[in-house]
Amino acid sequence: MSGAGNTNKKQRIDKILSHMGIGSRSDIRKQAKQGLITVNGAVVKDSGFHVDSAQDVIEVGGEPVLYREFIYLMMNKPPGVLSATEDKRDRTVLDLLKAEQALFEPFPVGRLDKDTVGLLLLTNDGKLAHELLSPRKHVPKTYEATVEGEVDAADVAAFAAGVELEDGYVTLPASLRILSRERGSRVLSYISLTITEGKFHQVKRMFVAVGKKVVFLKRVSMGDLKLDESLPQGACRELTAEELELLRRGGAEE
Ligand code: URA
């Protein structure tokens, strides 16, 4: 387990141990009463005892517990779920997490529409999330889309210059690539688009601005972090140390 994310702030030992999946708060209270928990070698019977997880050595039943505060998850978001933390009607991406991932209380970094699929980052590291979402950082996000209509060189030029959305906002320059086209009963264009901002429904609205309609949308990268295509839709895994580093670098750029 990496040491990334450790901080020096003191926290209740039952909170730390339940985060680590050692048991519920009441399990931990019982273990503490039984004298099974030690901090720096001394038995701690009070499960509300405060410890410094970066410095103190916590052991349960003689086994050291390696604590970390943060979790960083990559999800391949499926269609039909909301990238929100709760909703009265619909399932959210949090409903797809395993119990041991949910313990860390991660939240989605930014939003994908209900029907959008692909790369979604979830973390409980508010600072990194804030940096990645900050409009000042212009973190590039690349999408692949199927668009109804013939996306052409004029659209590529328009996106490179910035297009005016229906509310009058002019988007920052975006890089549009036409991957292929299909001519059946209707023309479909397969494209890749990189934008450096994150206005509501931005990709769909940019195509509406040039008279076209997105019928499928998938995010494939955020900064230098790429979607792991071997991750099935709806599945989630922790970022590797290398991926986390790539993401941090992206968030740090001005
Ligand atoms: N742009 C959109 O229109 N929808 C998304 O989900 C993401 C970007």
CA of 171 to the centre of ligand 1 (A): 14
CA distance 169 to 15: 46
Q: Which atom of ligand 1 is nearest to the CA of 214?
A: 3
Name the pLDDT band for 252 (thresholds 50, 70, 90).
low
201 lines ligand 1 (CB under 6 A): yes
Is 3.30.70.580 the CATH classification of the domain at 72-135+224-252?
yes
Cβ of 199 below 6 Å from ligand 1: no
User: Do residues 123 and 75 lie in contact, with contact meaning Cβ atoms separated by under 8 Å?
Assistant: no
Q: Which atom of ligand 1 is nearest to the CA of 201?
A: 3
Question: What pLDDT does residue 3 have?
Answer: 37
Which tens digits make up the pLDDT trace of 140-176? 999 999 999 999 999 999 999 999 999 999 999 999 9
Distances from the Cα of 227 to the Cαs of 120, 221, 236, in angstroms? 8, 6, 11
In short, whether 113's Cβ falls inside 6 Å of ligand 1 is yes
Residues serving a catalytic function are 113
**Which tokens is 162 given?**
């910035």
Q: Is the pTM of this model over 0.75?
A: yes
The correct answer on CATH 3.90.180.10 for the domain covering 141-222 is no
pLDDT digits (tens, 9 = 90+) for 44-54: 999 999 998 77
Asked if the domains 72-135+224-252 and 141-222 are classified in one and the same CATH topology, the answer is yes
- Whether the pLDDT of residue 72 is over 90: the answer is yes
Q: Please name which of 227, 82, 75 lies closest in space to residue 142, comparing C-alpha atoms.
A: 227
Q: For 118-138, write each residue's pLDDT tens digit.
A: 999 999 999 999 999 998 889
In the chain, beta strands by DSSP E: 10-12, 37-39, 42-43, 50-52, 58-60, 63-64, 72-77, 107-108, 117-123, 141-148, 175-183, 187-195, 213-222, 225-226, 236-238
Give me the pLDDT at residue 107, please: 97
pLDDT level of residue 251 (50, 70, 90 thresholds): low
Q: Which atom of ligand 1 is nearest to the CA of 112?
A: 6
217 within ligand 1 shell (Cβ under 6 A): yes
Q: Where are the domains of the chain?
A: 7-64, 72-135+224-252, 141-222
CATH top class, domain 7-64:
alpha beta
- Please state, rounded to an integer, the average pLDDT across all residues of the chain: 92
